[in-house]
């Protein structure tokens, strides 16, 4: 499990896309699972969880687009 002390969507997206599956914890945002290179919504999610998952997954998609261009 990787722990992030700050919420940095780009850094988290790089970590999730490289490891492909596992768990992370973000201070102030909670714990998350990721699988197939995408962050998953927790079971008992609150609004901040949905927002975090959405932002990180958008960054992952952006990273994949950049890789395809090169």
- Measured between alpha carbons, how far is 62 from 31 in angstroms, rounded to an integer? 23
**DSSP three-state, residue 4:** strand
Confidence bin at 25 (pLDDT 50/70/90): very high
Please give the structure tokens belonging to residue 31.
């714990």
**DSSP three-state, residue 8:** coil
Confidence bin at 67 (pLDDT 50/70/90): confident
Confidence bin at 69 (pLDDT 50/70/90): confident
pLDDT one-digit tens code per residue, 54-66: 999 999 999 999 8
User: CATH class for domain 2-69?
Assistant: alpha beta
The single-letter DSSP state of residue 59 is H
Give the pTM.
0.92
Sorted by where each begins, the domain ranges of the chain are 2-69
**DSSP three-state, residue 13:** helix
């Amino acid at each position: 499990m990787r722990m992030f002390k700050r919420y940095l969507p780009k850094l988290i997206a790089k970590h999730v896309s490289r490891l492909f599956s596992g768990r992370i914890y973000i201070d102030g945002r909670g714990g998350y699972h990721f699988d197939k290179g995408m962050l998953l919504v927790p079971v008992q999610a609150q609004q901040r969880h949905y927002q975090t998952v959405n932002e990180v997954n958008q960054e992952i998609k952006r990273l994949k687009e950049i890789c395809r261009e090169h």
